[in-house]
Amino acid sequence: MTLSTETYGELQEIAARYPEPRSGLLPMLHLVQSVEGRITPEGIEACAELLGITAAEVSGVATFYTMYKRRPVGDYHVGVCTNTLCAVMGGDAIFERLKDHLGVGNDETTEDGKITLEHVECNAACDYAPVMMVNWEFMDNMTPETAMQIIDDLRTGKEVRSTRGPRVVTWREAERVLAGFPDDLADEGPSAGPASLVGLGIARERGWTAPASEQSGGSGRTADTKEEAVEQADTSRAESETKQVDDGTGSDK
Amino acid sequence: MTDVLTPVLTDNWDAERSWTLASYESRGGYAALDKAFGMAPDAIIDAVKESGLRGRGGAGFPTGMKWGFIPQDNPKPKYLVVNADESEPGTCKDIPLMMASPHTLVEGVIISSYAIRATKAFIYIRGEVLHVIRRVQRAVQEAYLAGHLGTNIHGSGYDLDIVVHAGAGAYICGEETALLEGLEGRRGQPRLRPPFPAVAGLYASPTVINNVESIASVPSIIANGHSWFASMGTEKSKGVGIFSLSGHVKRPGQYEAPLGITLRTLIDLAGGIREGHELKFWTPGGSSTPLLTAEHLDVPLDFEGVGAAGSMLGTRALQIFDDTTCVVRATLRWTEFYKHESCGKCTPCREGTWWLVQVLAALEKGQGTEADLDLLLDQCDNILGRSFCALADGAVSPVASSIQFFRDEYVAHLTHGGCPFDPAAATVFAPAGATA
């Protein structure tokens, strides 16, 4: 089945956001997933045709990034963080329990097409460990029991809300937002979860603040020269960045 | 004397609807922009240099100096790209910042773009954080409607467009040249340098790539003055930073403090290690920074202090593990992560991380011999410094440092015939008093 004219139009709209259309490819593939439920050969062809590149080039990109799925994804993609910190804090136990409960393995979908279960890498919410993502919304401070309850609610069609976000939309709807077509949910949910505010709360209690403007303190004594910067840089990455002082003209050394 | 905690970037996170333009402006938001427009672009670069701000994405390179590398005589367009691909295990500061106060970032993008004379900026956000993307999309939209973006901003004659770009799942895209590949619609594989992005970055044009927290720090530096920023922190590590405590502490969370604070102070503020347990090991700046132990509690958490202790400040991602945690299990899991996320471009990384996992997985099961520890270190030696980017270097950090500090624990797996720890005891839902 080919994509609709409307989808073609939106794919073109994405490409037009960028100085060079190919930059739109990642969001375009998100849009393909939102209409097709996965990356389909038709979606790949459409992107290739619109960008004037080969289907092989588009496939190469689609297979590189983990959020792109070649098999149909359920209405709800459930990602359990099993990177070290979450795993230790209980993510491994949660993932095992959900696999048992749903009767699926990693990256598999339940027969009713509702839930796709996957273990995911660090999702930048370690202060809320163990973390589970539902359609890439945060479900903070999970236990095996609360995670199972969420799954059951999703399967029975009850409304599920993110602990730091809105009611959970479907995976396809989420993919549309990632393609750069916002829904109207930005104002839902809190500013921050409790852990994000812990330090601020302590500062408020104790009356701690940053100094007032332009307090004396002199200028920064960070590197003024490339040699000093190299000396100060504490990773090889910073060091290699530093070398551009020498290589700034682009000439080979 | 500066206070122990100094909320600057986090200061408005508890405000009502803090993510909205109305809330941000009610607290003086976008005033720094007018001040910036009253300055010459080079004066802004100088102010950021003088402030001592060093990159908050891990490498610690002076931000103003990075901006100064942009060759202004190059006729091509200049670009600012914000690295919002926060994925380093343990790192969780940019995501709450963008969720609670996306306008801080947007204002920073405008001032920074003006400084480097870019008229197009991109915010590359990892795709796996839907609500954060919504908030940034909305903030950019609000900024356009209010005249903070678009043409002739605030009547300054300066034009800027921002594109919010969602990634699609790839740790490697946190590496700046891989990020550019992703932003150009390609597989996220790092580029050989030189040329550096400042000379030939996005579309081979001069490009500055900065971390979210670096860019978000710019409005406060412009508003309050560079010497205000430089009055905080330590001699060579100026200013404030968000410290992210996670794991086995009573109150994990975000703590914004001058650089140089110690883990001892932070753990005290966090209520201590959870009841009945003690600190075993921790990462100062994500899993790519070598592990430290209880003997390093008083190390100043600045670039120099952590470096001198044999690790790196990185992203101030303090993952805290107590005595119930098996360091071999932790290391194996991190190594599996690096293996999974290796982009495959460089052989030492692609093959080396695979081999590390093979050896570690066997050791974790109690198989192999003590000589395998030397084999691991030899593999590390063959990976470190032999790839295009820092992913491979990061991958060896937990392996080498865990063997350095916990060799006996590896050996215990061999004598015990497997892992001597009970993983249930390490979980947050472990029964009270559970021991390893």
C-alpha B384/C-alpha A81 separation (Å) is 27
Residue B302 sits at the vertex; the CA angle it makes with B299 and B308, to the nearest 5 degrees, is 55
- A245 touching chain B per CB within 8 A: yes
Q: What pLDDT is stored for residue B233 in this prediction? A: 98
pLDDT tens, residue by residue, A191-228: 999 999 999 999 999 999 999 986 444 444 455 555 56
Among all chains, which residue has been given the structure tokens 């009841």?
B275
- A148 touching chain B per CB within 8 A: no
Q: Which residues contact B179 (CB under 8 A, 6 or more apart)?
A: B81, B83, B85, B124, B173, B188, B209
In total, chain B counts a number of residues equal to 436
CB contact under 8 A, A217 and B166: no
Mean pLDDT across chain A: 89
Query: Is 50 exceeded by the pLDDT of residue A240?
Result: no
C-alpha A17/C-alpha B164 separation (Å) is 10
What CA–CA distances, in Å, run from A50 to A33, A46, A199? 17, 6, 49
Peptide bond into A130 cis (omega under 30): yes
Q: Which residues contact B176 (CB under 8 A, 6 or more apart)?
A: B81, B83, B197, B209
Q: What pLDDT is stored for residue A231 in this prediction? A: 55
Please, are residues A23 and B184 in contact by the beta-carbon 8 Å criterion?
Answer: yes
What CA–CA distances, in Å, run from B95 to A9, B126, B229, B341, B364? 32, 10, 23, 20, 33
pLDDT tens, residue by residue, A79-98: 999 999 999 999 999 999 99
For residue A233, give both structure tokens.
């840089």
- Widest Cα–Cα separation across chain A: 68
- A86 touching chain B per CB within 8 A: no
Domains and CATH numbers, chain A: 5-62 (1.10.10), 76-178 (3.40.30.10)
CB contact under 8 A, B100 and A204: no
- Is B327-420 CATH 1.20.1440.230? yes
Q: What pLDDT is stored for residue A220 in this prediction? A: 43
CB contact under 8 A, A122 and B165: no
Q: What pLDDT is stored for residue B345 in this prediction? A: 97
pLDDT tens, residue by residue, A63-72: 999 999 999 9
Closest chain A residue to the Cα of B86, Cα to Cα? A124
**DSSP-assigned beta bridge partners for residue B121:** B80, B162
pLDDT tens, residue by residue, A13-60: 999 999 999 999 999 999 999 999 999 999 999 999 999 999 999 999
Boundaries of CATH 3.40.50.11540 in chain B? 21-225
Q: What pLDDT is stored for residue A2 in this prediction? A: 84
What phi and psi, each to the nearest 5 degrees, are found at residue B199?
-100, -45
Boundaries of CATH 3.10.20.600 in chain B? 240-322
C-alpha B13/C-alpha B99 separation (Å) is 9
Say how many CB pairs under 8 Å bridge A and B.
415
* 3 state SS for chain B: CCCCCCCCCCCCCCCCCCCCHHHHHHCCCCHHHHHHHCCCHHHHHHHHHHHCCECCCCCCCEHHHHHHCCCCCCCCCEEEEEEECCCCCCCCCHHHHHHHCHHHHHHHHHHHHHHHCEEEEEEEECCCCHHHHHHHHHHHHHHHHCCCCECCHHHCCCCEEEEEEECCCCHHHHCHHHHHHHHCCCCCCCCCCCCCHHHHCHHHCCEEEEEHHHHHHHHHHHHHCHHHHHCCECCCCECEEEEEEEECECCCEEEEEECCCEHHHHHHHCCCECCCCCEEEEECCCCCCCCEEHHHCCCECCHHHHHHCCCCCCCCEEEEEECCCCHHHHHHHHHHHHHHHCCCCCHHHHHHHHHHHHHHHHHHCCCCCCHHHHHHHHHHHHHCCCCCCCHHHHHHHHHHHHHHHHHHHHHHHHHHCCCCCCHHHHCCCCCCCCCC
Please, are residues A120 and A81 in contact by the beta-carbon 8 Å criterion?
Answer: yes
What pTM did the predictor assign? 0.94
- B340 touching chain A per CB within 8 A: yes
Please, are residues A232 and A224 in contact by the beta-carbon 8 Å criterion?
Answer: no
Closest chain A residue to the Cα of B289, Cα to Cα? A235
Q: What pLDDT is stored for residue B431 in this prediction? A: 73
CATH architecture of B240-322: Roll (3.10)
Query: Is 90 exceeded by the pLDDT of residue A248?
Result: no
What CA–CA distances, in Å, run from A46 to A14, A42, A252? 13, 6, 40
Query: Is 90 exceeded by the pLDDT of residue A244?
Result: no
C-alpha B173/C-alpha B189 separation (Å) is 8
Provide the edge-to-edge strand list for the sheet that holds B78-84.
Answer: B161-166, B118-125, B78-84, B207-211
- Computed on alpha carbons and rounded to an integer, the radius of gyration of chain B in Å comes to 22
Integer distance in angstroms from the first to the last C-alpha of chain B?
42
Q: What pLDDT is stored for residue B386 in this prediction? A: 96
Q: Report B:361-400 residues touching A (Cβ under 8 A).
A: 385, 389-390, 393
Closest CA relative to residue B337, chosen from B287, B293, B377: B287
Q: Report A:17-76 residues touching B (Cβ under 8 A).
A: 17-20, 22-27, 29-30, 51, 60-61, 64-68
Boundaries of CATH 1.20.1440.230 in chain B? 327-420
- Among B7, B245, B303, beta carbon nearest to A210: B7
Q: Which residues contact A72 (CB under 8 A, 6 or more apart)?
A: A37, A38, A109, A113
Q: Give pLDDT tens digits along chain B (436 positions).
A: 799 999 999 999 999 999 999 999 999 999 999 999 999 999 999 999 999 999 999 999 999 999 999 999 999 999 999 999 999 999 999 999 999 999 999 999 999 999 999 999 999 999 999 999 999 999 999 999 999 999 999 999 999 999 999 999 999 999 999 999 999 999 999 999 999 999 999 999 999 999 999 999 999 999 999 999 999 999 999 999 999 999 999 999 999 999 999 999 999 999 999 999 999 999 999 999 999 999 999 999 999 999 999 999 999 999 999 999 999 999 999 999 999 999 999 999 999 999 999 999 999 999 999 999 999 999 999 999 999 999 999 999 999 999 999 999 999 999 999 999 999 999 999 876 555 4
Q: What pLDDT is stored for residue B1 in this prediction? A: 78
Torsion of Cα atoms, B252 then A238 then B43 then B152, to 10°: -70
Q: What pLDDT is stored for residue A227 in this prediction? A: 58
CB neighbours of residue B411 within 10 Å: 14
C-alpha B427/C-alpha B127 separation (Å) is 28
- Exposed, middle or buried, B91 (CB in 10 Å: 0-12/13-18/19+)? buried
Q: What pLDDT is stored for residue B31 in this prediction? A: 97
Q: What pLDDT is stored for residue B315 in this prediction? A: 98
CATH code of domain B21-225:
3.40.50.11540
For residue A138, give both structure tokens.
């945060």
